[in-house]
A and B are shown apart, each in its own frame.
Chain A
Amino acid sequence: MSAATAEPASKVELPAGSSGGAVPSFDITLRVRRYDPEVSEEVRWDDFKLTMYGTDRVLDALHKAKWEHDGSVSFRRSCAHGVCGSDAMRINGRNRLACKTLLKDLDTSKPILVEPIKGLPVEKDLIVDMEPFFQSYREIMPFLISKGHEPTKERIQSVEDRERFDDTTKCILCAACTSSCPVFWTDGQYFGPAAIVNAHRFIFDSRDDAGDMRLEILNDKEGVWRCRTTFNCSEACPRGIQVTKAIAEVKQAILARQF
């Protein structure tokens, strides 16, 4: 591996020239925020001392804690490879996907803090109720709406037209952006970055005919105008979507439609 690669610098000393041999291991402390309303309304922090490997992710540490230490630790995960968007959580105060965060990239000298994403009601441990998130997602009608007759073959689109909304097609609905937004934290009434990103994906799709309807929905008291451009969402997105830019483009589209 050359020194020019863009990988984040490893914070754990891995012996040089160890490729092909055993994967180096190190000890970590995983500090998980626990909440179980069936036992107590109190929140507590549990520490798990684990021996993990240089190839392990935070999700592997959670698995180890659940499978070998305390079976009651609860979290969502499905594909475990950064595609399904189930395991968004706050890791060391940042919204990340547990399955995309390598332990060796974190500071292992201190406990690794794992909390549920903020702004959504916690059901148990790291599991939150995603319903408020999906409620605003449904409101922006995240599906193709086209006028006229259905074509007999596929709907053709030029490369340039596809490129226009390429960035926002990457969303996996993990809620890392919406639950990092301080405006959403206040009262949960703001549509949230994820809903606007998915509206953007259809508003700028040349095959879709309901852009005006979606712009009208987002031109709301709780719509795009509540965005304060704090860029928390762009920083949190595990897919690297330029979320704040997408919101700004929707704002401009609403203004261009009015004037």
Chain B
Amino acid sequence: MSAAPEIRAPRSTSQTGRVAPQYLRSGGARGQFEMLAWLFMRLSGIVLVVLIFGHLFVNLLVGEGIHAIDFGFVAGKWADPFWQFWDLAMLWLAMLHGTNGVRTIINDYAERDSVRFWLKVVLYAATALIVILGTLVIFTFDPCPVIDGVRHVADYCPAP
């Protein structure tokens, strides 16, 4: 053999001590966030089962069932505050439940801190966009809009 390989002393890979830097445990973040996220996941899951199956039952099975669904059906539902809040709860819980799930997947699978950071930025931006847009639609939805002074009247709209 030519040049003798450089042989490191056992466990000398770290400048700080015996543990290689990538295995050093960081100080760890105290606080309740992870516990609350874990709890939210379980509670929102239970509530979502009720909300989603209620939603599916009312939309697909009651009355004429799936044949009744059209623009007017949705407009009719959102004229009722009960269904507005039902859909709002479904939107928020499903989005936060899903976001939290993807957040844990990113934490588990992204190895580099920068990758982890940017994936989460994209995730949170997408969540914020969808939650805000969805909330706006549920509360500002107008089935009989007036555009440039012209009424777009459908047969379910109140007579002018």
Contacts and interface: CB of A to CB of B under 8 A. Distances in A.
A136 B28 CA distance: 11
A121 B24 CA distance: 12
A212 to B, nearest CB: 14
B120 to A, nearest CB: 14
Given A183-B108, A219-B35, A131 B29 contact: no
Contact of A131 (B23, B26, B104, B107): B23
Given A131-B19, A188-B22, A222 B28 contact: yes
Interface in A211-225: 216, 219-223, 225
A186 B108 contact: yes
B108 A182 contact: yes
B149 interface: no
Contact of A187 (B11, B33, B111): B111
Contact of B108 (A38, A39, A131, A228): A228
Given A129-B11, A132-B19, A135-B19, A189 B26 contact: yes
A221 B35 contact: no
B154 interface: no
A31 to B, nearest CB: 26
A228 B39 CA distance: 13
A220 B34 contact: yes
Interface string B97-129: 000000010011101000000000000000000
Interface stretch (A9-17, A170-178, A251-259): A251-259
Interface of A: 37-39, 120-121, 123, 129, 131-132, 135-136, 139, 182-183, 186-189, 216, 219-223, 225-226, 228, 251, 254-255, 258
